[in-house]
Structure 1
Amino acid sequence: MASFDVESLFTNVPLHETTIKFTCEIQKDNQLPFLDTMVTDNNGNFRTSFYRKPTFTGLGLHFLSFTPYIYKINSVKTLITRAYNRIHTPVNSFYKILRNFLNKTHSSSTPVLSAAKDLCYVTLSYLGHLNFSIRKELQSIFKDTFPQTDFRFIFKTTTTIRSLLNKTKPLPFALRSCAVYQFKCSRCNSQYVGSTTRSLQHRILEHMGKSYRTGVLLSSPSPSAIREHCYSNGHPLTQQDFHILTSASHRLDLITLESLFISRMKPDLNNTTAIQLHTQ
């Protein structure tokens, strides 16, 4: 690349004004790339050819890839128009596509005037060759039922590399919420069943009489049957004494599940009456 100063070309340009600068590219070996074209200077006669940047890899869509057939055909058509680049396509299919392409390009047909149809796209999960049979059946049904609509089918695969490598770790025990939990004393096996929509750590610290933000003992904590049992009997109270029985996304479901567990397990530390559920 070379640059030149416009100020040197015009003597009447005031010096205090901003100088305009242009850049240009000098030909190398009598060749100069311009967009996707390579221009070659042959003793004053210019010859053009395709030009690819050094970063061009030449990669394309492999014919054996798990992709809808129409996408492969369009890929071949694109490559044909770009000077017959190399592709991984069977010979018979290549000649068939090439013949259709040339016939369509060189044949002249009189356009038929008709009313424009409504365009509608239909997305289907890609299942391989089975999609072609499904598309054919749907096209036949839609053609008779909706003649005024032009349906275009799009095949989409749901299997991705991300879905195969999904290693999302579950939330830590203490950070889980909307759960039915159980407390079991490590000394006497006394039990308590409860539910919470907040994080389990928040509820455990509440049973311990501690602040959720600081972890310091509160001067006036809310009542807790678990804390009263442990303090009156001198039993330790730790987070390891709690575990999750089940979880639900709605509060009503949590209350129902909590009542079912209380009715079945009959924990001795629960001083509330469970909701009576009629069961057969």
Structure 2
Amino acid sequence: MAEIFMEQMEEKILGLEDPLIATILHWFRYVDDIFVVTTATTRQIDKLLNLINSIHSNLKFTVELEVDNRLNFLDLSVTRLGSSLEFDIYRKPTFTDCVIGKSSNVPNNIKYASFHSMLHRLISIPLSLDNYLKELGKIHTIARNNGYTIGEINNLLLKKLRKQKREGVYARIPKDGNDNWRKLRYGNKDCIKIGNELRKVGIQPAFYNDRTIGNYLINNKPKIGKELKSGIYSIKCNDCDSTYVGMTQRALQTRISEHLKRPLSHVNQHMAEQGHSFTMDNVSLLHRGHKKWKLSCLEMLYIKEASKNNTVLLNGQLTPAYYSPLLQ
């Protein structure tokens, strides 16, 4: 919606029959940041700004002028050399060279993502030779400071240059956009093998790592008791080793209450036959979650794990045969 609105604004602005609009030689926009090359004087630029701001009462632009023939725009530094423009890569003064380290336990495509971005920018922007070599040197420095080798970066650069050359000769085949994506937790390199198998059946894995900074930060919010959470749970008999493993998308206390009240539940039948009891004190939340398809898979895993440990299960559930290869 924002893009549609800005396009309409541009049409109105550039369609004005005003001498100030005629001073605009080039107009480049990215979202709401606009780079303008104009022949207007400083005084005329102020009038041009007022003209543009008069188009819509709720939209006000500000202006930043070049200093020493140079102006920073997004991640570019543009220098005016006579009638031509020279480009360089711009990084804010607050920029740090910290990227995902080589030793991080994440897939390689995530590790190298920042370098893919920097190298793509390097070969896509028409830099002078000096600026090209200067930027490549900065990328090498960032790589070294984060545990990567210069050889790795140069190999990525060569692959990108070859790809750029191929695309200049052969037309790109557009994707159909019907990819079926699924989140997949990344534990080690074996997950990559699983991802490759999923791709063969038309499923694109989106790897993620649950060891995020947020998980290690102190949370001062009031903690929710287990009885109000949902997920995979186990309830153990107060009088013997019998255990029930199940899942719920609702509050745990609601599900346990149903077990105790419904005559046909495995828990209630055990109470009636053995004269035993169950309470919330012997309920454990094994995995917190609320998505049904994910909980269904996890429930089978926990039941399988409990059966391996010779736990006396009340479930009476059998793991479907077609899932058995995945649970080995």
TM-score of Structure 1 vs Structure 2, range by shorter chain: 0.3 to 0.5
Larger relative strand fraction: 1
Q: Which has the larger radius of gyration?
A: 1
Larger relative helix fraction: 2
**TM-score computed with the length of structure 1 as normaliser:** 0.45
**TM-score computed with the length of structure 2 as normaliser:** 0.39
* Larger RCO (alpha carbons 8 Å, 6+ apart): 1
